[in-house]
Amino acid sequence: MNEMKQKNIESTKFDIPPELQGQVEITTIDKIYNWGRRSSIWPLMFGLACCAIEMICTAASRYDFARFGMEIMRPSPRQADLMIVAGTVTKKMIPQIVRLYNQMPEPKYVVAMGACASGGGPFKEGYNVVSGVDRYVPVDVYIPGCPPTPQALIHGLITLQRKIDTQSIKKVRWYSKEPIDAIPVPLLGPDVVDPRQNAIIREQAEKIIEQSETNAAGTAQVEQA
Ligand code: SF4
């Protein structure tokens, strides 16, 4: 076991007799569990816009995020742990992104790479752009930049590893007794509709109908007079 791996998993609370050092490690379930996950994060292979070019570059030989245990990008959400949202999230794409997120098994993580994925970027408030992917899926790490450099992406991935290091098997959502509900897939019509907002949309529509009926009744009374 090399020095770096040893440092990540060992617990310093107990002394190991000198004759067993190098052969025995004492650690906690949390540490070994987190070490296993943080050292084998497989990203889902997809990109949305210019930021994806930087992500591809980070996976290639010069930067090579396999050095962090992110060995291979998986083309199937069922084999992926990490969704890197690299690029502009359009209203046309968000239903597919949410569907892919739902298809990823727990534990799963999301990195918003770049200004567009984090908040809409230069296209914020555009007619076809979602102002941040976190409106639909939970984001663990945001990486600023337009586009972020490969170094920035690597920094974001290391930040994610540090976040994983702090998780406890007792508190993680995928082991809680309550079922984890899938995120409702947004509907794309003339605009994108978030099904979680259905009650509010219905209420507002009813108010508008009520108001227009009142106005119509008022107009009819004036005409009769
Ligand atoms: S943040 Fe900049 S580089 Fe990245 S997708 Fe948006 S416009 Fe392109």
Distance CA 139, CA 130 (A): 14
Q: How many C-beta atoms surround the C-beta of residue 180 within 10 A?
A: 10
Whether residue 83 has its Cβ less than 6 Å from ligand 1: no
User: Phi and psi of 143, rounded to 5°?
Assistant: -115, 115
For ligand 1, atom 8: residue with the closest CA: 50
Q: Which atom of ligand 1 is nearest to the CA of 88?
A: 5
User: Phi and psi of 129, rounded to 5°?
Assistant: -120, 140
Specify burial of residue 69 (Cβ count, 10 A radius: 0-12, 13-18, 19+): middle
Alpha helical stretches, state H, 107-197: 114-119, 150-165
For ligand 1, atom 6: residue with the closest CA: 116
Distance CA 143, CA 114 (A): 5
Q: Which of 53, 57, 88 to mutate to test the pocket of ligand 1 (most atoms within 8 A of CB)?
A: 88
Please report the pLDDT score of residue 47 as a whole number. Answer: 92
- Centre of ligand 1 to C-alpha 132, Å, is 12
Q: Strand, coil or helix: what is 142?
A: strand
Please report the pLDDT score of residue 19 as a whole number. Answer: 83
Cβ atoms of 183 and 101 closer than 8 Å = yes
Q: Strand, coil or helix: what is 167?
A: coil
What is the value of pTM for the model shown? 0.84
The residue ranges of the chain whose pLDDT is under 70 are 1-12
Please report the pLDDT score of residue 190 as a whole number. Answer: 83
